[in-house]
Amino acid sequence: MTELPADPFLAPSLPPPAPWVRDDGTRHHPGAVYAAVSGYRALELDLWVPAVPALPAVVVWVHGGAWMVGNRHLLPGSLRPGLLFEELLAAGLAVATVEYRHAREAPFPAQLHDVKAAVRWLRHHAAGLGIDGGRVGIAGESAGGHLAALVALTADRPDLEGAVGVRGPSSAVDAVVDWYGVADAATMPETELPPEVAAALPPEDLVPPLEVLLDGVDDATRELASPVVHAHAGAPPFLLVHGTADRVVPHAQSELLARALRDAGADVRLESVPGAGHRLGRVRRRRRGRRPHRPVPGRRAARDARPVSRPRLPLRPRTRVVVDNDWSGDPDGLVALAHHLLSPTNRVEAVTSTPLDPRFPVARPRAADGAALAEELLDVVGGHTRPPVAAGREGTFDPSRPGTSAAAEVVVEAARRADPLPLYVVCGGPLTNVADALRQAPDVAARTTLVWVGGAVEEGRFEYNREADAEAARYVLGHPGLTVHQFPVEAYRQCAYSVAELEEDLAGSGALGEWLWSHFVDPPEWLDVEGVWPLGDSPPVLVTALSVESSRATVTPGQGQGERRVYTDVDTRLLFGDMLARFRRHGRTSRTTAD
């Protein structure tokens, strides 16, 4: 078994970040770095601590996702986003949701080491966090349930503890809830994908997730990945929850673990959910002797029908896109990025990030924080190719001060790349990175088209994307030869969504929709939500991937050879109809893969 050394240039973990305090007194510590491992992304957790008289016990939540996708924000699709966390807080329990390295980042037992490191970090900082480090439970679903069971059964074992994060405190837990996790790798059957799903996936996504997790490990390590081999009398109490119709992780897996724990003398209860599939979704069965139901033709019937195979029009990329935004702010930018990534007619070359205006405080305002959030979204979307993500400067543009950034260099490289497809730089925030790129390489102006969400037609009207870096806006919009498509505030505010409709449409669109909706439910304090949420960063998709023929704009010659197209009306039906269709299709495809 190969151990990964801690990063010699970084602390093995960081102290807890300052909390946000909600109106009910709940303290939220977002993005705490519980471990840093050389060559990998920082491993983070979010912690919520309720306002209760005594120190609360803490529950560690481990997300699912076939050990290859997902993040700490996700819950099963059968639950409303955030529901489980809210219920735990209401019961007076603190809850920590943790990240871990995915199987394609590192093979087993790296994932086990990571979750144990999170438990040790919570104990190490328990006094400062206001939690009871002597009472720690763990819960998880699917891949997370498997890891939760392993943490509980292998606590403090030197060969499975790892060298990640804080050393010293115990990784033992006091109770376990394992939702439909793998218990015995040796008897776990392969999941067969429907032919139409398999045909749409790249070859690497056809490998069974368990084989990806155990790729390259020896037989002894492979055996250690099965919770059943670790059952012992001293195990903490286990609650196993499993649907009897689960076709991804069979119900028999939890039966095996329950039997092994009982035989060892441990306390275990298996709760079987009749007729439930994986993630506890209901499985519809056709009754014998009855004709299958045929839906009545209509819009809802057409939307809800799920044909086994359907021919599709061949769509090819017609544009290249660099998507730039301040991802840590208003989450509508994340919705727009997901739409770009799922649109086959534009090819996302790179994703770049700017910092937030300090006048609008959030917990993670840096460009680097936004880049990390964009990386999370790429994990959820998945796909055969993954565009690079680059952070811009941590500050505003100063034309008198030379300098560049990783984001600017990405824009310049994409503009100078020999490719027959035109390049569009889509900016849904301040123009800092675009200004840096143009100053570094003025020839970029003739090689790209800027699509900017920002500015205002009405003189004197405040508009955030312009005012967040007014100097960058003046520099870019006055640059000779640059063609600009602009969606000013009067246009992008037309893209309004009622909050109720947004919840139904996003949260009901599979893991991607759940992840996106999870970023809307806790908006920044300075954002005033009154029943409507404009998805103002979405209109550029019309330019790069769809059509602007049904939208209206005024066109004026710009300086030099550049043209300025300022949109006055946006075809929201075309825009959001395409967006929801792509999100729902992604949700249907992802539900057929192992979680």
Q: Quick: pLDDT tens for 201-256.
A: 566 666 888 999 999 999 999 999 999 999 999 999 999 999 998 888 999 999 99
Tens-digit pLDDT profile for residues 329-349: 789 999 999 999 999 999 999
Q: Are 418 and 490 in contact (CB under 8 A)?
A: no
Tens-digit pLDDT profile for residues 137-183: 999 999 999 999 999 999 999 999 999 999 999 999 999 999 999 99
Distance from C-alpha of 79 to C-alpha of 298, rounded to nearest angstrom? 28
45-to-89, 137, 296, 371, 402 alpha-carbon distances in Å: 16, 15, 47, 17, 37
Q: Which helix (H) or strand (E) holds 58?
A: strand 58-62
Instruction: Give the pLDDT confidence score for residue 307 in this predicted structure.
Output: 40
Q: Is 337 exposed, middle or buried (0-12, 13-18, 19+ CB in 10 A)?
A: buried
* Least confident residue range of 79-93, 111-125, 517-531: 517-531
- Residue 584 scores a pLDDT above 70: yes
Instruction: Give the pLDDT confidence score for residue 333 in this predicted structure.
Output: 95
Residue 386 banded pLDDT, cuts 50, 70, 90? confident
- Residue 452 scores a pLDDT above 80: yes
CB atoms within 10 A of CB 293: 8
Distance from C-alpha of 118 to C-alpha of 62, rounded to nearest angstrom? 10
- Residue 262 scores a pLDDT above 80: yes
Asked if residue 506 is part of any domain, the answer here is yes
Give the residue-averaged pLDDT of 121-142. 97
State which residues form the domain around 248: 20-274
Q: Are residues 470 and 530 in the same domain?
A: yes
Residue 285 banded pLDDT, cuts 50, 70, 90? very low
DSSP annotation of 206 reads G
**DSSP letter for each residue of 419-478:** -SSPEEEEESS-SHHHHHHHHH-GGGGGGEEEEEE---SSTT---HHHHTTHHHHHHHHT
Q: Are residues 251 and 342 in the same domain?
A: no
Give the residue-averaged pLDDT of 117-122. 97
Distance from C-alpha of 385 to C-alpha of 378, rounded to nearest angstrom? 10
Residues facing residue 46 across a β-bridge: 97
Distance from C-alpha of 384 to C-alpha of 203, rounded to nearest angstrom? 9
Question: First-to-last CA distance in the chain?
Answer: 26
Distance from C-alpha of 136 to C-alpha of 414, rounded to nearest angstrom? 49
Instruction: Give the pLDDT confidence score for residue 431 in this predicted structure.
Output: 97
- Residue 9 scores a pLDDT above 80: no
- Residue 484 scores a pLDDT above 90: yes
Give the residue-averaged pLDDT of 115-119. 98
When mean pLDDT is compared over 15-24, 137-146, 309-318, 578-587, the highest value belongs to: 137-146
CB atoms within 10 A of CB 24: 9
Give me the CATH number covering residue 412: 3.90.245.10
Q: Are 185 and 149 in contact (CB under 8 A)?
A: no
- Token digits for 592? 């057929």
Helix, strand, coil % over all residues of the chain, rounded to 5: 35, 20, 50
Query: How many domains does one find in the chain?
Result: 2
Instruction: Give the pLDDT confidence score for residue 287 in this predicted structure.
Output: 36
Sign of CA dihedral 45, 50, 56, 57: negative
Question: Which one has a higher pLDDT value, 544 or 588?
Answer: 544
Domain boundary among 274, 290, 311: 274
Strand order in the sheet with 58-62: 20-21, 27-35, 43-49, 94-98, 58-62, 136-141, 175-179, 238-243, 268-273
Contacts of 393 (CB under 8 A, 6+ apart): 355, 367, 403, 405, 407, 432, 433, 436
Instruction: Give the pLDDT confidence score for residue 71 in this predicted structure.
Output: 83
Asked if residue 283 is part of any domain, the answer here is no
Distance from C-alpha of 503 to C-alpha of 509, rounded to nearest angstrom? 10
CB atoms within 10 A of CB 412: 20
Q: Which of 242, 250, 245 is nearest to 269 (CA)?
A: 242
Distance from C-alpha of 211 to C-alpha of 197, rounded to nearest angstrom? 19
Instruction: Give the pLDDT confidence score for residue 86 in this predicted structure.
Output: 84
Give the residue-averaged pLDDT of 29-46. 88
Helix (H, G, I), strand (E, B) or coil at 242: strand
Question: Which one has a higher pLDDT value, 315 or 267?
Answer: 267
Tens-digit pLDDT profile for residues 62-71: 999 889 888 8
Single-letter residue type at 436:
D
Contacts of 274 (CB under 8 A, 6+ apart): 244
Distance from C-alpha of 495 to C-alpha of 333, rounded to nearest angstrom? 13
Question: Which one has a higher pLDDT value, 121 or 207?
Answer: 121
Instruction: Give the pLDDT confidence score for residue 286 in this predicted structure.
Output: 35
Asked if residue 282 is part of any domain, the answer here is no
Domain boundary among 245, 274, 303: 274
Give the residue-averaged pLDDT of 446-461. 94
Q: Are residues 253 and 361 in the same domain?
A: no
Q: Are residues 446 and 329 in the same domain?
A: yes
Q: Which of 110, 103, 119, 182 is nearest to 156 (CA)?
A: 119
Q: Are residues 363 and 481 in the same domain?
A: yes
Domain boundary among 274, 309, 327: 274
Residues facing residue 176 across a β-bridge: 138, 238
Q: Are 342 and 480 in contact (CB under 8 A)?
A: no
Asked if residue 301 is part of any domain, the answer here is no
Contacts of 592 (CB under 8 A, 6+ apart): 193, 194, 197
Instruction: Give the pLDDT confidence score for residue 200 in this predicted structure.
Output: 52
Q: Are residues 184 and 55 in the same domain?
A: yes
Give the residue-averaged pLDDT of 540-556. 92
Q: Are residues 226 and 332 in the same domain?
A: no
Instruction: Give the pLDDT confidence score for residue 544 in this predicted structure.
Output: 95
Residue 284 banded pLDDT, cuts 50, 70, 90? very low
Residue 282 banded pLDDT, cuts 50, 70, 90? very low
Q: Are residues 409 and 538 in the same domain?
A: yes
Distance from C-alpha of 40 to C-alpha of 420, rounded to nearest angstrom? 35
DSSP annotation of 554 reads E
Residue 32 banded pLDDT, cuts 50, 70, 90? very high
Give me the CATH number covering residue 145: 3.40.50.1820
In percent, the amount of the chain with pLDDT more than 70 equals 85
Q: Are residues 380 and 243 in the same domain?
A: no
- Residue 51 scores a pLDDT above 80: yes
Q: Which of 371, 392, 381 is nearest to 437 (CA)?
A: 392
Read off the pTM: 0.53
Asked if residue 280 is part of any domain, the answer here is no
Helix (H, G, I), strand (E, B) or coil at 211: helix
Question: Which one has a higher pLDDT value, 428 or 522?
Answer: 428
Question: Which one has a higher pLDDT value, 288 or 339?
Answer: 339
Q: Are residues 269 and 325 in the same domain?
A: no
- Residue 570 scores a pLDDT above 50: yes
* Least confident residue range of 53-62, 233-242, 365-374: 365-374
Supply the mean pLDDT for the chain. Answer: 86
Q: Is 88 exposed, middle or buried (0-12, 13-18, 19+ CB in 10 A)?
A: buried
Asked if residue 307 is part of any domain, the answer here is no
- Residue 193 scores a pLDDT above 80: no
Give the residue-averaged pLDDT of 95-114. 95
- Residue 543 scores a pLDDT above 50: yes
- Residue 311 scores a pLDDT above 90: no
Give the residue-averaged pLDDT of 476-484. 91
Length of the chain in residues, anyone? 595
Instruction: Give the pLDDT confidence score for residue 298 in this predicted structure.
Output: 37
Residue 321 banded pLDDT, cuts 50, 70, 90? very high
Distance from C-alpha of 153 to C-alpha of 284, rounded to nearest angstrom? 35
Asked if residue 465 is part of any domain, the answer here is yes
Beta-strand relationship, 94-98 and 43-49: antiparallel
Q: Are residues 438 and 333 in the same domain?
A: yes
Asked if residue 309 is part of any domain, the answer here is no
Structure-token match 């395409």, residue found? 578
Q: Are residues 270 and 328 in the same domain?
A: no
